[in-house]
């Protein structure tokens, strides 16, 4: 019995030592893999952690956000006005239809009154759009949320500018509408310097809102050649592939920063809130688990970044395989599963916005030269981002139809109208707009 107990004790000791050595080896192995991945990010010239991104102050004369901050109370007032008008409209829509028809002119008048009474607000935004940088005082050490809140101001400003341009276009004031659109596009161009995935998605929404108004203006109003050239020059400055790539790199840095926080929490067992048992938190096994998880996250984000310039067919196939691999990892890579953003949605939003930018530039080229052959345009203008084929163009009896095949990768004959608000149009682009009688000033 004594020999058996001694043998058992020796065996348990051996197993403990082997487990201890194995856990140290595993922790060191995963740490080396992680170090290699981080070194590759650094060698590419990209910050590793979110707090590494520059937060140097920008002089007031170059800082657009200084002026947007000054404009913020009145921007918020307009947002509140629109919210109240929508609430009133919804209430009227639920009642008699004859009442609903009489509400629209009143709504339009209240918007116009706001624009008339706040001319200096739009002068302020115009001045802001010509600044060199868009940089609020960001405290990145407080986390991503603290540095993303300021983007809301620019989003609201863009929506307000789009509404004003729409009002001017409805009056037939084409050049004036283009001037307001230019202000909005310049502010969007400045905000993209903030480099974040959220900022990129806000940029795509802003491009959609301004693009709709710009198209309406070009089709229904007389626009001078200098104004058409100015807006085309502004449109060609948007490089959405590069912008999304930068946004995903920041998203990767946010994730790495989060893992750093997890490692710190694991070292303080009483604060352990990690998806691993408390008894391994802070141990070699716990470090190996988090190292492996972080390495998986970085590799996942690296793959996503590499797919920005790919067409939807090839990238969706790879994204589906990556998502399956991640979901099938069991109890491993738990944090990666929680933090991995919706990259497919961001990629599709980028292609939608790119397709509409290309469609607008094609329409501008046709207005300048009505007998233009689309094939004569540069590839950068006429390419459908979803397929790498040419955008589809058709001259109808009511005007030009220019579109991309969209997310289903199928030509749906220029179907640019969604069945309902919960769905997107099958194709992406712009078509003829019936000319409406213009209002007198």
Residues 6+ apart with CB under 8 A from 392: 384, 401, 402, 403, 404, 405, 411, 414, 427, 429
Predicted local confidence at residue 99, as pLDDT: 39
Residues 6+ apart with CB under 8 A from 114: 77, 78, 81
Q: How many CA atoms lie within 13 A of 404 on its CB side?
A: 29
Using CA atoms, how far apart are residues 428 and 212, in angstroms rounded to an integer? Answer: 12
Residues 6+ apart with CB under 8 A from 46: 249, 253
Using CA atoms, how far apart are residues 65 and 98, in angstroms rounded to an integer? Answer: 44
Alpha carbon dihedral 316, 340, 307, 348, in 10-degree steps, equals 60
Predicted local confidence at residue 279, as pLDDT: 40
Predicted local confidence at residue 25, as pLDDT: 53
Question: What would the 3-class secondary structure string for the chain be?
Answer: CHHHHHHHHHHHHHHHHHHHHHHHHHHHHHHHHHHHHHHHHHHCCCCCCHHHCCCCCCCCCCEHHHHHHHHHHHHHHHHHHHHHHHHHHHHHHCCCHHHHHHHHHHHHHHHHHHHHHCHHHHHHHHHHHCCCECCCCCCHHHCHHHHHCCHHHHHHHHHHHHHHHHHHHHCCCHHHHHHHHHHHHHHHHHHHHHCCHHHHHHHHHHHHHHHHHHHHHHHHCCCCHHHHHHHHHHHCCCCHHHHHHHHHHHHHHHHHHHHHHHHHHHHCHHHCCCCCCHHHCCCHHHHHHHHHHHHHHHHHHHHHHHCCCCCHHHHHHHHHHHHHHHHCCCCCCHHHHHHCCCHHHHHHHHHHHHHHHHHHHHHHHHHHCCCCCHHHCCHHHHECCCCCCECEEEEECCEEEEEECCCCCCCCCCCCCCCCCCCCCCCEEECCCCCCCCCCC
Predicted local confidence at residue 264, as pLDDT: 72
- Taking the alpha carbons at both ends of the chain, their separation in whole angstroms is 107
Predicted local confidence at residue 351, as pLDDT: 96
Predicted local confidence at residue 191, as pLDDT: 84
Going by C-alpha positions, the residue among 156, 167, 176 that lies closest to residue 73 is 156
Count CB neighbours of 400 within 10 A.
19
Predicted local confidence at residue 212, as pLDDT: 96
Q: Which two tokens stand for residue 214?
A: 């710009």
Predicted local confidence at residue 89, as pLDDT: 75
**383: which strand partners?**
390
Predicted local confidence at residue 13, as pLDDT: 53
Q: Which two tokens stand for residue 1?
A: 């019995």
Instruction: Name the pairing type of β-strands 399-404 and 428-430.
Output: antiparallel
Please list the pLDDT of the chain residue by residue as tens digits (441 residues): 555 454 554 445 544 444 444 555 566 778 889 889 999 999 998 988 887 776 677 788 888 888 998 999 999 999 999 999 888 877 766 654 443 344 467 888 899 999 999 999 999 999 999 998 887 666 666 555 655 667 888 899 999 999 999 999 999 999 999 999 999 999 999 888 777 888 899 899 999 999 999 999 999 999 999 999 999 999 999 999 999 999 999 889 988 988 887 777 666 655 545 555 444 455 677 778 888 888 999 999 999 999 999 999 889 889 889 988 888 887 788 888 888 888 999 999 999 999 999 999 999 999 999 888 889 999 999 999 999 999 999 999 989 999 999 999 999 999 998 887 778 899 999 999 865 554 544
Q: Are 335 and 297 contacting, i.e. CB atoms less than 8 angstroms apart?
A: yes
Predicted local confidence at residue 199, as pLDDT: 85
Predicted local confidence at residue 100, as pLDDT: 39
Using CA atoms, how far apart are residues 48 and 38, in angstroms rounded to an integer? Answer: 7
Alpha carbon dihedral 45, 337, 305, 324, in 10-degree steps, equals 140
Using CA atoms, how far apart are residues 412 and 401, in angstroms rounded to an integer? Answer: 12
Q: Which two tokens stand for residue 283?
A: 């141990």
Instruction: Name the pairing type of β-strands 399-404 and 392-396.
Output: antiparallel
Q: Which two tokens stand for residue 415?
A: 């179907």
Predicted local confidence at residue 434, as pLDDT: 64
Report pTM: 0.86
């Amino acid at each position: 019995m004594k020999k058996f107990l001694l043998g058992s004790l020796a065996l348990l000791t051996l197993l403990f030592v082997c487990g201890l050595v194995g856990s140290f080896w595993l922790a060191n192995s995963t740490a080396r893999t992680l170090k290699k991945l981080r070194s590759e990010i650094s060698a590419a010239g990209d910050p590793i952690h979110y707090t590494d991104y520059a937060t140097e102050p920008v002089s007031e004369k170059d800082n657009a956000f200084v002026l947007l901050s000054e404009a913020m109370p009145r921007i918020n007032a307009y947002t509140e006005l629109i919210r109240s008008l929508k609430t009133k409209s919804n209430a009227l829509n639920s009642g008699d239809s004859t009442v609903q028809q009489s509400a629209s002119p009143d709504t339009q008048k209240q918007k116009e009154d706001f624009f008339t009474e706040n001319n200096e607000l739009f002068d302020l935004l115009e001045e802001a759009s010509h600044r060199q940088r868009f940089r609020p005082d960001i405290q990145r050490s407080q986390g991503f949320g603290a540095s993303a809140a300021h983007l809301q101001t620019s989003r609201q400003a863009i929506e307000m500018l789009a509404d004003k341009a729409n009002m001017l276009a409805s009056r037939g004031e084409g050049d004036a509408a283009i001037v307001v659109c230019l202000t909005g596009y310049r502010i969007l161009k400045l905000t993209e310097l903030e480099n974040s995935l959220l900022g990129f998605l806000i940029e795509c929404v802003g491009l959609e809102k301004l693009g709709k108004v710009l198209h309406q203006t070009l089709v229904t109003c007389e626009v001078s050649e200098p104004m058409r050239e100015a807006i085309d020059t502004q449109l060609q400055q948007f490089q959405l592939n590069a912008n999304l790539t930068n946004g995903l790199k920041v998203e990767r840095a946010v994730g790495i920063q989060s893992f750093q926080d997890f490692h710190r929490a694991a070292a303080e067992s009483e604060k352990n809130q990690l998806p691993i048992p408390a008894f391994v938190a802070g141990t070699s096994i716990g470090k190996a688990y988090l190292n492996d998880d972080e390495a998986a996250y970085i590799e996942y984000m690296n793959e996503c970044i590499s797919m920005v310039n790919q067409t939807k067919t090839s990238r969706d196939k790879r994204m589906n395989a990556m998502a399956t691999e991640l979901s099938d990892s069991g109890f491993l890579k738990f944090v990666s599963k929680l933090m991995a953003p919706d990259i497919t949605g961001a990629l599709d939003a980028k292609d939608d916005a790119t397709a509409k930018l290309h469609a607008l530039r094609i329409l501008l080229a046709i207005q300048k030269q009505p007998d233009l052959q689309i094939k004569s345009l540069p590839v950068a203008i006429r390419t459908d981002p979803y397929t790498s084929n040419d955008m589809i163009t058709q001259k109808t009896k009511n005007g030009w139809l220019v579109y991309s095949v969209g997310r289903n990768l199928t030509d749906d004959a220029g179907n640019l109208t969604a069945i309902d608000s919960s769905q997107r149009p099958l194709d992406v682009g712009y078509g003829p707009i019936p000319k409406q009688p213009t209002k007198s000033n």
